[in-house]
Amino acid sequence: MKLPQLFVTFALVAGSAVHAATTIVRGPYLQTATPTSMVVRWRTDNTEASVVSYGLERNELTSSAKAEGIGTEHIVQLTGLKPNTKYYYAVGAAPVPPPNPAKKAAEDAPGRAAINSFTTPPPVGPAKPTRVWVLGDPGTKNATQMAVRDVYYKFTGSRATDLWLLLGDNAYPDGTDADYQKAIFEMYPQTLRISPVWSTLGNHDGKSANSITESGVYYDIFTLPKRAEAGGVMSGTEAYYSFDYANIHFVCLDSHDSDRSAGGAMMQWMKADLAATQRDWIIAFFHHPTFTKGTHDSDKDSDSQGRMNDMRAIFLPVLEQAGVDLILTGHSHVYERSWLINGHYGKSDTFNASQHVKQKTNGRSDGEGAYKKPRRRAPHAGEISVVTGSAGHAGSATKPPPLNHPVFYLSLNEAGSSVIDVDGLKLDFVFLNEKGEKRDWFSIVKE
């Protein structure tokens, strides 16, 4: 054999060997969950086909779905699913035969052909006990992020996380693919495989993403419902969107890189979306807080180029008019939680508790009592605003942030994450710090 032929043969053999060793390097992770469909995504180190095998029993993955073509980024949508139903699934290049029951794989075992599971969302409308994990600014990749994560895992135990929200700045410093790999995919692999994640764009994510052409890392990684696949009104963009889960309507806004003007497309869409919903609860989330005196200052117009001011002065009145119940934001690396408030759209020195606080209690069922709102959709009935942007780190301990915005009942310079439990007409909220302490809690009850 001549040398060039030998080289070609060697290359082919080597190539085959590499192909045979293809492994999953990201995911699988779940996106755009609806009662009847689920998007499953993963990445392999080599090009191959995209197939998801799934079924109602671990050992009977009798259905399969595939995407056209081959690649390393795999996006497969499962359709025709039953609502509120547990499915087992495995990803790979071809339909996977069910494993030998004698070798039952651990649910969170990594690698190809591992069998994972998810539960489809329930039918839209009727209530179902729902747990939501909320992570703001998590992506530091450091011990604090891990501690916050582990505290939640211990807290939730065997209780499933129905969905989780990322409030932006998911991967520091620049939201690159490598940043995301470490800060999200290697940080939360277990949760990614079993619980759908929904995200909003933060300023650090924006460094590697281009919202105007909707391209770049953030838009490549997430599959979000631009065509109202999961409920709500069609936005036509992944930058802002809405979705329903049971009796909750979630509204995701882009406070970073979309037009925030009163006449802009995002506002036009949001008004129509809010007017259309029939869900009991409305929860809005976006990156830049309407109020904060943490590591950012919502009183300063120059801070974040006026984005916080825009969200407070332009979007908050419309959200309140529509009867929003809870507003979740990050950006400021602290925890700040308001009273039940309404109608405060100015700087902190214009805040007037007698005018802007609907119920000046701590909202705790075991304290001064839960916040009460009428069930009938009432404009300006009050909402709780929560800045929970410390899932990756808190503000400086040596030069602590002022944390003195009067709109807040409680402000903490502590790392942690938040948990929402909705059960019918009751919403319970908890903030867990990185030490595992329940540092704040409140409830809203609709009557």
Partner 1 sequence: MPRRGFGLAGTLCNVPLVRSSILRPVSGCFDFAHLTPRCTALACALMCVTVARAHPEIENGLAELNPRIEATPNDAAQYLDRGELYARHADWIQAEANYLRAAELSPRLPGLDRARGALALRIGNPREAGGHFARALALDPRDAETFILRNRARVALGDRAGALADLQHALRLIESPRPELFLERAALIAAARDAVRSLDDGIARIGPVHTLQLRAFQLEESAGLIDAALARLSVIAAQSERKEIWLKRRGDVLMHAGRIAEARAAYGAALAAINSLPAWLRESPDSATLATELARLSGRAS
Residue 169 CB, shortest distance to partner 1, in Å, is 10
Q: Mark the segment that binds partner 1 (CB under 8 A) among 87-95, 127-135, 233-241, 413-421.
A: 233-241
State the minimum distance, in angstroms, from the CB of residue 240 to partner 1: 10
Q: Does 214 bind partner 1 (CB under 8 A)?
A: yes
**Are 51 and 22 in contact, with CB atoms under 8 Å apart?**
no
Answer for which of 44, 145, 258, 388 binds partner 1 (CB under 8 A) is 258
Paired sense of beta strands 416-423 and 130-135, if any:
antiparallel
**Is there a contact between 191 and 161 (Cβ–Cβ < 8 Å)?**
yes
Given 71, 95, 264, 436, the residue binding partner 1 (CB under 8 A) = 264
Task: Please state, in angstroms and rounded to a whole number, the distance separating the CA atoms of residues 28 and 355.
Answer: 49
Q: Per rule CB under 8 A, is residue 73 in the interface with partner 1? A: no
Omega of the bond prior to 173 within 30 degrees of 0, cis?
Answer: yes
Ramachandran sector of residue 322 (left: φ over 0; alpha: ψ -120 to 50; beta: rest)? alpha
Nearer Cβ to partner 1, position 166 or 266? 266
Among 272, 360, 367, 368, binds partner 1 (CB under 8 A): 272
Site string for partner 1, 169-198 (x = CB under 8 A): ----x--xx---------------------
* Cβ-defined contacts of 209-217 (< 8 Å, 24+): 209/175, 209/257, 211/239, 211/254, 211/256, 211/257, 211/258, 212/257, 214/238, 214/239, 217/175, 217/176, 217/177, 217/180
| 95 binds partner 1 per the rule CB under 8 A | no
Beta strands in 169-305 (DSSP E): 197-199, 209-210, 215-216, 241-245, 248-252, 281-285
- Binding partner 1 by CB under 8 A: which of 135, 217, 282, 328? 217
CB of 306 to partner 1, least distance (A): 6
Q: CA of 97: how far to CAs of 40, 63, 314, 397, in Å? A: 18, 10, 54, 54
Q: Considering the complex, what minimum distance in angstroms separates the CB of residue 375 from partner 1? A: 5
> Which segment (50-58, 95-103, 257-265, 363-371) binds partner 1 by CB under 8 A?
257-265
Q: What are the residues binding partner 1 (CB under 8 A)?
A: 173, 176-177, 203, 206-217, 220, 226-228, 233-237, 239, 256-261, 264-265, 268-269, 272-273, 275-278, 295, 301-303, 305-307, 310, 323, 375-379
